[in-house]
A and B are shown apart, each in its own frame.
Chain A
Amino acid sequence: MATAAVTAERENYLNQQYGIRSWLLTTDHKRIALLYLASITFFFFIGGFFALLIRLELLTPAGDLVQADTYNKLFSMHGQVMVFFFLIPSIPAVLGNFLVPLMIGAKDLAFPRINLLSWYLYAIAGLMYIHCILTGGVDTGWTFYTPLSTAFSNTKVIEAGLSIFVVGFSSILTGLNFVVTIHRMRAPGMTWSRLPLFIWAHYATSIIQLLGTPVLAITLVLVVLERALHLGIFDPKLGGDPLLFQHLFWFYSHPAVYIMILPSMGVITEIVPCFSRKRVFGYEFVAMASIAIAVIGFLVWAHHMFVAGISLYSAMIFSFLSYLVAIPSAIKVFNWTATMYKGSIRFSTPMLYAFGFIGLFTMGGLTGLFLAALGIDVHVTDTYFVIAHFHYIMVGGAVMGYLGGMHFWWPKISGRMYPESWGRLAALIVFLGFNLTFFPQFILGYLGMPRRYWQYPPEFQVLNVLSTAGSTILAVGYLLPMVYFLWSMRYGKVADDNPWGASGLEWMTTSPPPTFNFEETPVVTWEAYDYAHIPDPEEVAVER
C-alpha cells in the first residue's frame, strides 16, 4: 500500500500542471470534468435557492412572501436552472467526461478541444442566464409556452431563450464527442459486448442529445424571432397554432428526461454489481433497454399535451406509446434486483444511494404510468401529482444516482476516500428529506392542488408544511457531501487504485490517473463485471 508521501509525489492529472491557465485552457477530459463539476454545483445552489423560496411561500395558504408575478418567476427559473444547467449536464459532463475514455481504455475523448468548447459554451450560457435573473428573470414557466412567451410576457424571455439555446449546443457537442469516442477509440479487445453498461447508457443518452436538442434549439430561435422581429409563427392572431410550439418543445423535452435518467441508470448498473460482488444479471438486456429507452422516448412527447387540444385519436396513440416506454425501464429494475439476489451485499454509501434510486425511481416510474392513462391525466394534469412524479424521477432517481456515482468514483477522481460514516449519514438524510418533501405532493395533487399557484385553500396547508420541512432536511443532506468531499481533498485517507475491488478499466490505473490515463494502452481479454475473478477488498485486507 502506498504511503501518503509517495502517492502525493506521483504525477497525476491534478498535479501535472498548476495555475489557472492550465485549468482554463486544458484539453484533458478529466480536468474539464472538474470544471463542469464546479459550474453545475454553482447552478445547483441557484436552482436550490429558488426552490427554497418556493417552499417558504407555500408554508402558508396566503400569498404573503412574494408577489404573484415574482412567484411565477421563481418556479420558472427553478425549473430552467435545474433542468438545463444542472440535471442535463450533471452526470454526462462530470462523470461521463471523466470516465468514458478511462472505461474504454482511451487516452482522451475523440475531440478534446471541442470538449473544452462545450464547457465554455456552458459557461457563457450560464453567465447569460445569471444576467437574465439579475435583470428581471423570466415568468413563462420553464416550458416557454406561447403565446405567453412570444406576445404577453414582459420578462426576459429572449435572453433566457438564447441562453438555453447556447447551453443546448454545449449538450450537443458533449453527445457528439461521446458517440464518436465510443465508436472509434475503444482499446484493443474492448468489443461492444465487453463495454461497461455505464458506456451503453451514455451512448444512448448521447443519441438523444444529438437528435433531440436541435429541435429545442430551433423552437427557441423561432420564439426569439417572433418576439424580436414579429415573425409570427405561433401567433394566434395570425392563425398560428400555440400547440405547434408545444409539439416542437416536447419533441425534445420529453426525451430530455431520458437524458437526465439514463446516465444515472448507468451509474447504478456499475454500483450494484460491485457491492453485490456479482456480475450484472442480463447484460444484453440492460444494454438493449438503454437503447430502447432512447428510441421509444422519442415517440411519447404529446402525453404532455393530453388536455391542451390535440386530437383524441393522437392522444390515444401517445398514451399507448407512453405505456411502452415503461417496459425497458422496468427491465432494468428487474436486472438490478436479480443482480443483488444471492450476492454479497455491502451497504457502503454508493450502494445506499443505489437502493434509494431503485425504490424512488420505481415509484416515480409507476406514477408516470398513472399519468399515461388519459382519464387519470385529465384529473391530475397541472397538479402537484405531476410535480411529485417528476421529482421522484429526477431527484429521487437522477440526483441520487449522481451522488452515488460521485461517492463511488471520488477515490479515482481525487485520490482520496471520503469519510464513510458521514457518507452513509448524508445518504440517509437525503432519502428521508426527499420522501418528506415529495410524498405529500402526490396527495396534494390528487386532492386537487394546482401547480404554479402561489396561494392555495387552507385545507392543503398541513401537507405543504410537511413538504417544506422535508425540503430543509433534504438541503442539509445535499450540503454534507459538499463539505466532506472538500474536506477529504486535504485530510481524507489516501485511496488505492481500486478501493472497492470494482471491475472496469478505470480501476486499473492509479488514483488519481495520470494525464494520459494509462501507462500503456490496455488490451482487453476479459468480459465486463468479471467479479468472480476480482478479489473482494473486504476479504483481502483484514486490518481495514
Chain B
Amino acid sequence: MSEHIVSSKLYIGIWLTLLFLTGLTAGVAFIDLGPFNTVVALVIASVKATLVVLFFMHVKYTSEKLTKIVIASALFWLLLLLGLSLADYTTRLMR
C-alpha cells in the first residue's frame, strides 16, 4: 500500500454502503426472481468484496501493479478450478 491516507469520511461511507448492501441481499432473498436470485446475491457479494478490496485494502490507491496481478491471477485460477470441473459435471448423462 502507498502512503496515501484515506479520509475517515470515505471509510464511513464505504462501511455504510456495505451495511446497506448486506440488508439488501438479505431482503431480496425473500423476493421471487426465479434463477436470478442467485445471480443477484452473487453480484451484491462481489460488489461488497470489491469495495473492501479497493478501499479497505487500499488497492485503489496503490502504485503496485503487481498487487492487482496477484489478485487477478488468484481469481482466474479459482475460475479454472470451478469451470473445468463443471465441464465434467454438466456434461454427464445423469439426473
Which A positions have Cβ atoms within 8 angstroms of B? 183, 211, 215, 243-244, 247, 251, 298-299, 301-302, 310-314, 317-318
Contacts of A243 in B (CB 8 A): 88
Q: Is B92 an interface residue (CB 8 A)?
A: yes
Contacts of A312 in B (CB 8 A): 91
Q: Which of B7-15, B20-28, B73-81 contacts A (4 or more CB under 8 A)?
A: B73-81
Contacts of A310 in B (CB 8 A): 88, 92
What per-residue 1/0 map shows which CB atoms of B51-95 lie under 8 Å from chain A?
000000000000000100000011001001100110111011100
Per a CB cutoff under 8 Å, which of A183, A211, A215, A314 touches B87? Answer: A314
Per a CB cutoff under 8 Å, which of B66, B77, B88, B93 touches A302? Answer: B88
Contact of A302 with B81 at beta-carbon distance under 8 Å, contacts A183-B66, A314-B91 already known:
no
Contact of A313 with B87 at beta-carbon distance under 8 Å, contacts A298-B80, A299-B80 already known:
yes
What would 11 more interface pairs be, CB under 8 Å, given A311-B87, A313-B87, A314-B88?
A211-B73, A211-B77, A247-B85, A251-B81, A251-B85, A298-B77, A298-B80, A311-B92, A313-B91, A314-B84, A314-B87
Bound Cα distance from A251 to B81, whole angstroms: 7
Bound Cα distance from A289 to B81, whole angstroms: 22
Contact of A299 with B66 at beta-carbon distance under 8 Å, contacts A211-B73, A311-B92 already known:
no
Bound Cα distance from A235 to B74, whole angstroms: 29
Bound Cα distance from A215 to B77, whole angstroms: 11
Bound Cα distance from A312 to B73, whole angstroms: 29
CB distance from B69 to the nearest CB of A (A): 10
Q: List 11 A-B contacts (CB under 8 A).
A: A244-B85, A247-B88, A251-B81, A302-B84, A310-B88, A311-B92, A311-B93, A313-B87, A314-B87, A317-B84, A318-B84
Contact: B88 with A211, CB < 8 Å?
A: no
Bound Cα distance from A264 to B84, whole angstroms: 29
Contacts of A301 in B (CB 8 A): 84
Chain B residue at minimal CB-CB distance from A300: B84
Contact: A317 with B81, CB < 8 Å?
A: no
Contacts of A251 in B (CB 8 A): 81, 85
Bound Cα distance from A343 to B73, whole angstroms: 40
Contacts of A244 in B (CB 8 A): 85
Contact: A299 with B91, CB < 8 Å?
A: no
